Amino acid sequence: MSAPASRQRWLVPIQPLFPLMIIGVLGVTMRWGVKKYQEYENWGKPKRWSVDRWDRRMMERDSRLTGNVNFQRAEVEAPKEFLTNSAWEVERPFM
């Protein structure tokens, strides 16, 4: 009564690495997905990180010049609306 001997399938034993490879693929897909979603939110560009007060005020000026924080323009003169617009929200009094 001899039990069938278990044999390894391949010469180099890579079978224990399969779970690690699956985890690796899932991790890479997750990071790629997050990056793509952030680019979708920021109109095709990577998200700005480490934004300090200077960058925030420059981005507010960008939004006043072009309508959106992510759009850039390199014209000589500003549009006429730039002289009087602002980024302050106008709130309806409710209390």
End-to-end, the C-alpha distance of the chain in Å comes to: 89
In angstroms, give the least distance from the CB of 8 to another protein.
Answer: 45
Q: Which stretch binds another protein (CB under 8 A): 1-9, 10-18, 26-34, 81-89?
A: 81-89
Buried b (16+ CB within 10 A) or exposed e, 31-53: eeeeeeeeeeeeeeeeeeeeeee
Task: Give the shortest CB-62-to-another protein separation in angstroms.
Answer: 4
> Which of 71, 58, 66 shows the shortest CA–CA distance to 85?
66
Q: Among all chains, which residue has been given the structure tokens 């044999």? A: 7
Q: Give how many residues touch another protein by CB under 8 A.
A: 33
Residues 1-40 binding another protein (CB under 8 A) are none
Location of structure tokens 């480490």:
50
Q: Which of residues 38-67 bind another protein (CB under 8 A)?
A: 45-46, 48-50, 55, 58-59, 61-62, 65-66
Chain residues binding another protein by CB under 8 A are 45-46, 48-50, 55, 58-59, 61-62, 65-66, 71-79, 82-92, 94
